[in-house]
Amino acid sequence: MKQSEFLNVVMPFKDKLYRMAKRLLVSKEEAEDATQEILMKLWSINESISEYKNVEAFAMTMTKNFCLDRLKSKQAGNLKLVHSNYSDGNASLQKQVEVKDSLSWVEKIMEELPEQQKMVLQLRDVEEYDFDEIGELLNMKPTAIRVTLSRARKTVREKLMQKHSYGIG
């Protein structure tokens, strides 16, 4: 595959790779490094990449596995999961502060979720993948994905409600 063809295939979803890496690794720099590493790996298998039915799903799986390996490595002992991709230019300053506070709490709550729930929540609610794509990426059945997603959302919702009810900071 020529470089231009490769770029046409891979570049449309490179931002998704980065967001997945950032969700898992937190650090912008770590996520950038991971994304670059994945793109280099994809380039190294450039000649055979067209054999994959869904290159994007393959790349997302590579990213997930690479990041999870990084998290398990000793050098990544202080990495954790956080994510925020929300902005609203029309909101009042007070509303922006409230939204930022809520997002901060959601991030903290998500840190405590089991790994599978974090991944399903990220892929479905942030990356907007459908259940079949998530199933392919995580090797899960659609029913299991729905149950996992429901549990993750319920936990986040309950803990957020607790925080807002009690004002614990």
pLDDT the model gives residue 81: 42
pLDDT the model gives residue 95: 67
Is residue 72 located within the same domain as residue 131? no
Is residue 68 located within the same domain as residue 104? no
The pLDDT averaged over each successive group of 10 residues in the chain (169 residues) is 74 88 84 90 79 83 86 53 45 67 76 88 84 90 93 88 65
pLDDT the model gives residue 92: 66
- For residue 86, being part of any structural domain is answered with no
pLDDT the model gives residue 111: 79
The domain in which residue 32 lies consists of 3-76
Is residue 99 located within the same domain as residue 63? no
Please count the structural domains in the chain: 2
pLDDT the model gives residue 145: 93
Structure letter (DSSP) for residue 144:
H
- Region of 167 (left: φ > 0; alpha: ψ -120 to 50; beta: rest) is left
CATH number at residue 135: 1.10.10.10
DSSP characters over 73-127: SGGGTT----------TTS-HHHHHHHHHHHHHHHHHHHHS-HHHHHHHIIIIIS
Is residue 66 located within the same domain as residue 40? yes
- For residue 116, being part of any structural domain is answered with yes
